[in-house]
Structure formats: C-alpha cells, structure tokens
C-alpha cells in the first residue's frame, strides 16, 4: 500500500513541476508580448519616411514601415494565441494536480484508519 501512496505522491510532484514550468513559460510570453506592444507603439510614432531595419540572423535588412508594423502585429497575434494555449494548459494541469491531491488525502486517511476496528455507520 505504501508503494501505491509513493507512486501517487510522485505523480503529484510531476504535476507541480509541470505547473512551475508552464508558469515560467507564461512569464516569458507576457514579457515578449509587452516588448512587442512597446515596439508597435514606437513604430506608430515614426514618420512614414523613416527607415526601419529588421535583424535577420547577423544581418540588418531594411524593411518598409508598414512591413515592420505588420511583422510586429503578427508576432503579437501569435504570442496572444500562445498565451491563451499556455493558460489553458496551466488550468488543465492544475485541475489534474488538485484531483490527485484530493485522491492522496483520501488515500492517506484510509491508511491512518486503525485496523480491525469496525467502522461506524
């Protein structure tokens, strides 16, 4: 019985670690979203004749202002979708964690019950 409990406890730890990993990823996504929003605001302040460069690998390439705005807007869209997906995975994993935690509590109570004592009705 103890090995079953230990197995369930390991599964709970796996869920906890997965939640931490997903939350770290969520923080990265939010950071990138904020940076991209800031870049888009800055691009909107530029005059239409401004020269804009995009870093592609080790090379700076000149792009039109509209192209730069579109690139940033596409990035914002992708990051928004990724954020939504990550939040869903966090919620799903949290629900699995909570279910497993409740199962462990019930299992622990069962282990703590004295043996050979009739249960009260």
Phi, psi (rounded to 5 degrees) for 52: -125, 140
Q: Using CA atoms, how far apart are residues 64 and 77, in angstroms rounded to an integer?
A: 20
Residue 29, domain member (yes or no): yes
Residue 30, domain member (yes or no): yes
pLDDT tens figures, 2-30: 787 788 889 999 999 999 999 999 999 99
Q: Can you name the residues that pair with 60 across neighbouring β-strands?
A: 55
Please give the model's pTM, rounded to 2 decimal places: 0.78
pLDDT tens figures, 45-62: 999 999 999 999 999 999
Are 4 and 104 in contact, with CB atoms under 8 Å apart?
A: no
Say what the pLDDT of residue 108 is.
Answer: 83
Average pLDDT, the chain: 92
Name the CA dihedral angle for 35, 41, 45, 50, rounded to a multiple of 10 degrees: 50
Residue 121, domain member (yes or no): no
**Binning pLDDT at 50, 70 and 90, where does residue 113 land?**
confident
Residue 41, domain member (yes or no): yes
For residue 116, pLDDT over 70 is answered with no
Residue 113, domain member (yes or no): no
Q: What is the CATH number of the domain that holds 95?
A: 1.10.287.370
The crossing angle, in degrees rounded to 10, of helices 65-112 and 2-45 is 160
* Residue numbers of the domain that contains 49: 9-100
Count of structural domains, the chain: 1
- DSSP-derived 3-state class of residue 119: coil
pLDDT tens figures, 66-99: 999 999 999 999 999 999 999 999 999 999 999 9
Q: Using CA atoms, how far apart are residues 110 and 60, in angstroms rounded to an integer?
A: 66
């Amino acid at each position: 019985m103890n090995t079953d409990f230990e197995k369930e406890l390991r599964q709970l730890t796996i869920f906890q670690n997965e939640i931490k990993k997903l939350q770290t990823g969520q923080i990265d996504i939010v950071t990138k979203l904020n940076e991209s929003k800031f870049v888009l605001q800055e691009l909107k302040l530029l005059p239409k004749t401004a020269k804009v460069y995009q870093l592609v690998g080790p090379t700076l390439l000149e792009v039109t202002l509209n192209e730069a705005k579109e690139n940033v807007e596409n990035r914002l869209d992708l990051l928004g979708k990724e954020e939504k997906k990550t939040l869903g995975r966090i919620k799903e994993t949290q629900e699995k964690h909570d279910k497993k935690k409740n199962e462990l509590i019930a299992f622990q109570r069962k282990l703590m019950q004295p043996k050979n004592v009739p249960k009260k009705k």
